[in-house]
Amino acid sequence: MSVPPAPPLILASRSPQRRAILEQLRIPHEVVLPTYEEQGDDPVEHAAGKARSVAGVAQERPVLGADTVVVCDGLVLGKPADAAEAEQMLETLGGKTHEVVSGLCLRTLAWEELHQETTRVTFRALTPRDIATYIATHEWRDRAGGYAIQGVGAALVERIEGDYLNVVGLPAAVLIRLLAARFSGIYGFG
């Protein structure tokens, strides 16, 4: 029996990592850049703001918004402004366990689901040379906490507890559960 294709969901994000995760999971989607301006450190609030900012173009299709921050010793680490700030972030994370916290908003005209997912990541002890070598890759640009676990940044990591794709940029396990529950098989899950 053939199943009609699912309507593409709207991804309210500028993140190429989030697009790549949806492609990896074979979830049809279209990107609409959000017009929401982030203020504060709440990733759930930011995810909702992004999704709500593009809801007008979605019509009947679901809209997905997401945001991610890194928290270490109570300090929220967003995206570094420059190499010096990225270096400070890596110095903070070296030899410690931190949390990657993502907010997710999935909404339609009829309902809205807000969720938060946390993954614990432990970095190995980092030498000044380790940090300088990583900074030279420029991989830290536009990355919460100043690193990309799916790239060279994997060499900084000693252990991870939780959803790996959450660290990459999208809490995939939460998203799949929501799609299965809300759309019973339309997106291939459930």
Catalytic, 163? Answer no
Report helix, strand or coil for 158. strand
d(CA 40, CA 134): 28
What is the amino acid identity at position 33? L
Catalytic residue among 41, 42, 67, 163: 67
DSSP string, 31-53: E----PPP-SS-HHHHHHHHHHH
Report helix, strand or coil for 65. strand
d(CA 153, CA 56): 37
- Active-site annotation, residues: 67
